Amino acid sequence: MLEVYAHAYIEIGREIQSISQNLEVGLAPEEQLSEDETGRLRSKISGITKDLEAIDLKVSGRLLSRLYLGYRDHRPTFQQARADILNAYGIMKIELETRLFFFVPTTRAAYYSSEPCGDPEFFGEFSGLAKDLEPFKPAIHAFPSIDEDLREAGNCYAFGRYSATVYFLMRVMESGLKAIGKAMGVAYGTDWGRCIAEMEKKEASADLFFKEAITYLRSVKNVWRNPTMHADARHTEQQAKRIFDAVQGFMQHLATKLTE
């Protein structure tokens, strides 16, 4: 999926408007632009072309590329240059009519990530995206296998797919269940109830770390995981957010002592 901030489109429109306005004054319509004026025009067209290619407006981009090359061989008149720019602008508007855009509210955009969360630079110089996944950093380092599921959970939340968010969060929790089972000598199985029941048998003699972890798992299984597995399960944004926070706390807790 192409990721674009809205200001990119505003900047393109502003540049085109600037060119058009500048060409409305000056010499007579049939008089050629000077070498300097043609050079400045080509420079602006080059910048706009790169922006159009970045947002996948290929037709508009190719048209401006041809203008750029054409103005290299001859200097256009004011009238021709203005007509060319306005024509390119019209085509860009038509091309935009064929594009579908999604708006992600700022309250959820911070959960979106197009890159693996485990990349070395992911939690370094990111510009705001995925910032709400940063608390998972210790857990990702301790449990690398949760990377993809955590990223999918964040992306689903960003796009308002809350039941899918919970589904992927349960997969993250499952990695934690495997780690606890291994540490406690309980064989992992897809039946969470059986695994947790086996852990509970050892709970009395376990240290506080494992007791807290079992409490997390028990509440997740009873309140969230079982309903999520049913086809008619539906979750709201508020529910998904609470589950996100709970899974975060759970995985942070595990990362203090366990790894996979």
The answer, yes or no, to whether residue 31 has pLDDT greater than 80, is yes
Residues in a beta bridge with 32: 77
Indicate the pTM of the whole model: 0.70
**Between 134 and 258, residue with greater pLDDT:** 258
Query: What is the average pLDDT value for the chain, to the nearest integer?
Result: 81
Q: What pLDDT is recorded for position 149?
A: 92
Residue 231 pLDDT class (50, 70, 90 cuts): low
The pLDDT value given to residue 27:
57
Domain segments of the chain as ranges:
7-96, 110-255
Letter for the amino acid at 5? Y
How many angstroms separate the CA atoms of 19 and 77, rounded? 14
pLDDT in tens, 49-98: 888 887 888 898 899 999 999 998 888 888 888 888 888 888 888 888 88
Q: Is 13 helix (H, G, I), strand (E, B) or coil?
A: helix
* Contact assessment for residue 196 and residue 176, using Cβ atoms and an 8 Å cutoff: no
Cα dist from 100 to 1, 121, 156, whole Å: 11, 31, 18
* Cα–Cα separations (whole angstroms), residue 125 to 99, 130, 176, 188, 189: 31, 11, 28, 38, 39
Tokens of 53: 């290619």
